[in-house]
Amino acid sequence: MLSNTLLYKDDDILVINKPAGIPVHAGSGGGDNLENHFHELQFDAKIPPMLAHRLDRDTSGCLILGRNKQAIRKLGKLFEQKRIHKTYWAIVEGVPEKKQGRIDAKLAKINDQKNKWHMKVDDGGQDAVTDYRMLATQEGRSWLELSPRTGRTHQIRVHCAHMGWSLVGDKLYGTGDGIAPLMLHARAVKIPLDPAKPLVVEAPPPDPWRSALDVFGFKG
């Protein structure tokens, strides 16, 4: 399952191109998850790789794994210090007024009447900051590059919806019907394991993105 997702490998870390539609670890509802398949990526290591961070079930793209406990500790510290830079691509409904900017809106987790949780903008919540840049716009939609400066759950999805341009395919925070895929892709990671020469890894967009990006003139 994961053999064709490998983007980068060294003695300490792996970066894979996570498929959309599968959670990274087991949830309360059970079912398949990526961790069930990490043995496929063990190679010559003593143990299977471990998650250094998470991506949502419906998000594709760069996912960093540690190949040993020392690497996991080092990656954890880098994430805690906000030194690992993540870049996302999103296709949204609508067009931002400014071609680039910063979304600074606190987020809080809430439960609705059906005891289902989601995130919302709330002044009493936790700090959440996302930088964005518009790459192209066409037919009432925009292709954005987003860089979260904090790591809140569903941060990009909620911030974009809050600004009036929800992600295409987002049935929780937008108008998605659950049939079209969520158009959120973890395009790149920059990992300063060696501060003098940070590692940069890019994930090519998955198949559902191809026709969508053709509209914007993407040549990749």
DSSP result, 1-12: --TT-EEEE-SS
Report the CATH number that the domain containing residue 206 is assigned in CATH.
3.30.2350.10
- Please report the pLDDT score of residue 114 as a whole number: 58
Residue 115 pLDDT > 60, yes or no?
Answer: no
Within-domain flag for 23: yes
Of 20, 4, 78, give the one whose Cα is nearest residue 208.
20
Tens of pLDDT along 120-130? Answer: 999 999 999 99
The tally of domains found in the chain comes to: 1
Residue 119 pLDDT > 70, yes or no?
Answer: yes
- Please report the pLDDT score of residue 7 as a whole number: 98
Alpha-carbon distance of 97 to 80, in angstroms, equals 33
**CA distances for 42 relative to 39, 99, 201, angstroms:** 5, 43, 20
> Would residue 194 show up in a list of annotated catalytic residues for this protein?
no
- Please report the pLDDT score of residue 42 as a whole number: 95
**CA distances for 158 relative to 7, 115, 142, 155, angstroms:** 28, 19, 16, 5
Alpha-carbon distance of 165 to 158, in angstroms, equals 10
Tens of pLDDT along 10-50? Answer: 999 999 999 999 999 887 667 899 999 999 999 999 999 99
- Please report the pLDDT score of residue 111 as a whole number: 83
Within-domain flag for 68: yes
- Please report the pLDDT score of residue 2 as a whole number: 84
Catalytic residue, chosen from 11, 56, 170, 194, is: 56
SS3 at position 114: coil
Q: What is the model's pTM?
A: 0.94
Tens of pLDDT along 135-194? Answer: 999 999 999 999 999 999 999 999 999 999 999 999 999 987 767 899 999 999 999 998
| Structural domain range at position 77 | 6-215
The total number of residues shown for the chain amounts to 220
- Please report the pLDDT score of residue 33 as a whole number: 94
Residue 113 pLDDT > 70, yes or no?
Answer: no
Mean pLDDT computed over 77-93: 97
Within-domain flag for 220: no
- Please report the pLDDT score of residue 175 as a whole number: 85
Within-domain flag for 1: no
In this prediction, residue 195 has a pLDDT band, given cuts at 50, 70 and 90, of confident
- Please report the pLDDT score of residue 147 as a whole number: 98
